[in-house]
Amino acid sequence: MSNTSLNETHFDDDHFRDECGVFGVLDHPEAANLTYLGLYALQHRGQESTGIISTDGTNFNNHRGMGLVSDVYQKEDIVKLEGRIAIGHVRYSTAGDLGLRNCQPFMYQYAHGGIAMCHNGNIVNAEALRKGLEKDGSIFQSTSDTEVIIHLLAKSSGNSTRERLTDAVKQLEGGFSVLLMTETRLFGARDPNGIRPLVLGKLDGSWVMASETCAFDLVGADFVRDVEAGELVVVDPDGTLRSYFPFEKPAIKFCVFEYVYFARPDSTLEGVNVYQARHNIGVELAKESYVDADMVIPVPDSGVPPAMGFALEAGIPFQMGLIRNHYVGRTFIEPKQSIRNFGVKLKLNPNRDMIAGKRVILVDDSIVRGTTSRKIVEMVRAAGATEIHMRISSPPTKHSCFYGINTPTSEELMANQMNLDEMCKAIGADSLAFVSNEGLFKAVGKPRELHCDACFSGDYPVPVNEKRSPQLSLLRYYDKRPS
C-alpha cells in the first residue's frame, strides 16, 4: 500500500458505540449557540455527523454535516440559525450507512406545519413499521428510524402535535429518547423502559433537554430532573412544562453500560454520578479479583476511574503507564511497511521506563472482540512488563445490544465464544477477571431490576430477534428494494 494514500480506520472498533446524543432548548435568544455548545459536550456520543435546526417561529433554519462539531460549524453557520428554539444531534453511523442523508435532525413540512425531530436509540420494529408505511404510500429519504417516527406522526389523526407524537411513540418498540420541535413548542419523549437517557434543565428561565447533564454544565444550565421512563414532556411558548405518560406500564430499565463506558464521567444519570459509579466498580473488582502486582495501569480514558478505585482498594500504586494521543483523527497516512499493532499504537503508547521489569494490572472497561485487548497486552509485554493481569470493569459481554448501541453480533463477541481461561490465553495475559454482576450493581448503588443489562445477561426488556441486527436489517431492506 502506498505511503501517500489516505486511509480511514476505526482504532476503537473493538469498543461498543453509542450512536447518538441530543440537545434542545426553547425560548432563549442564543438557542442555536447553546445547542452547538451542548453538542460539543456530547461529542463522545457520536463523531460521524451532526446537525442543528432552529426556528424563529415562522421559518426553520438548519445546518448539518459529516464530522466533528468543531469541524462542521463555523461562526457564520451559527449566526444563520436564527430563532429562540433549536434542537441538535450528534451520531455514529451504522454499517452500510449512507452518510449525510441520515444526518439528523430531520425537518419536514406537513399538513399541520413544520416539525423537526432527532432521536437517540434504536427501534427494533422499525423494519415492520417502514414496510407498512411504504405500502400505504409513504416515501423515505433516509434509512434512519427517526424518519419512521415522523411518518407515523404525520399519519396520525390526533388533534394536536402532542396527540400525534403520542400515537407515534406508542407504536415503537425499543430504546429511544426523542426530541421534536414545532415553530412554537419543544417536545421530549423517552421509551417506556427508559433505556436511553434524557435529562431536563433550566437556563435563564428557559427549558433545555439533553442526553447527559455534562451538556448542562458547559452552557451553565441547572439540572432539574431526568425525564422519566415512558414520559412525554411538552414545553409551551410561555415556558410551561406539561408532563404525560402515554404508555400503560412504564418501568425503568436504564442501560447500565452508560455507567460503564458510554456516558461522560462528569455526568449524573438517574441519580448516579458516572465517575463515582466507575470508581466504585474498580473497588468491587479489587475485592473480587485481587492479585499482587507493582502497579495498576488504566486503559485510557474510560479505564481511569475504575483503575483508581482498584488501586485504592488493593493498596497498589496507580500509574499512567499508557499514554494516550488525544490528537488522533480518523484519517492518516499509513506507513509503507507494516508496523505491528499500528492502529492501537497510533492512539496509545506504553511508558517503557515505568513498566519494564514490573508486574502490571491493566484495567479496561470491556472486552468486545478481544482484538484491542490482545494488542494492548502485546504492547505492554514488549515494553518489558514481567506479568500482565487484565481486569475488566464490566461483566463479560456475551450478547448484542439492539437498543441504540452499534455492536457486533453475538458470534463476534469473545465472551460468547470462549470461557475465561480461553479468553485469557487469547489476549496473552497472565490472568483475566471481570467484575461480577453483583459487584457491578453494588457499585452503581441501585438494583439490577432497574437496569437493562442484556449485553451481559441476554435478558432483553424488549423482545428482539438476536439472530440479526435491526439496524442492518433495515439498511438491507432499504437497499434491496426495487428502484
Active site positions, annotated: 20
CA angle 31, 34, 36 (to 5 degrees): 110
CA–CA separation, 5 vs 456, rounded Å?
40
The count of C-alpha atoms lying within 13 angstroms of the C-alpha of 284, restricted to the half-sphere facing its C-beta, is: 22
Packing angle of the helix pair 145-155, 161-169 (nearest 10 deg): 130
Place of cell 459529516: 66
Residue 14, classed as helix, strand or coil, is coil
Within 296-397, residue ranges assigned H as helices are 304-314, 342-347, 352-355, 371-382
CA–CA separation, 152 vs 176, rounded Å?
15
Please answer whether residues 11 and 346 qualify as being in contact, where contact means their C-beta atoms are separated by less than 8 angstroms: yes
Grid coordinates of 382? 514488549
Please answer whether residues 181 and 85 qualify as being in contact, where contact means their C-beta atoms are separated by less than 8 angstroms: yes
Q: What phi and psi values does residue 136 have, to the nearest 5 degrees?
A: -90, 5
Reduced DSSP (H G I as helix, E B as strand, rest coil) percent helix, strand, coil of the chain, to 5? 35, 25, 40
Place of cell 482504532: 11
Grid coordinates of 214? 455534562
Which residues lie closer than 8 Å to 449 by C-beta, 6 or more apart? none
CA–CA separation, 198 vs 229, rounded Å?
9
CA–CA separation, 108 vs 155, rounded Å?
13
CA–CA separation, 444 vs 475, rounded Å?
36
Single-letter amino acid code for the residue at 417: Q
CA–CA separation, 156 vs 158, rounded Å?
5
CA–CA separation, 465 vs 180, rounded Å?
29
Residue 359's DSSP bridge partners are 387
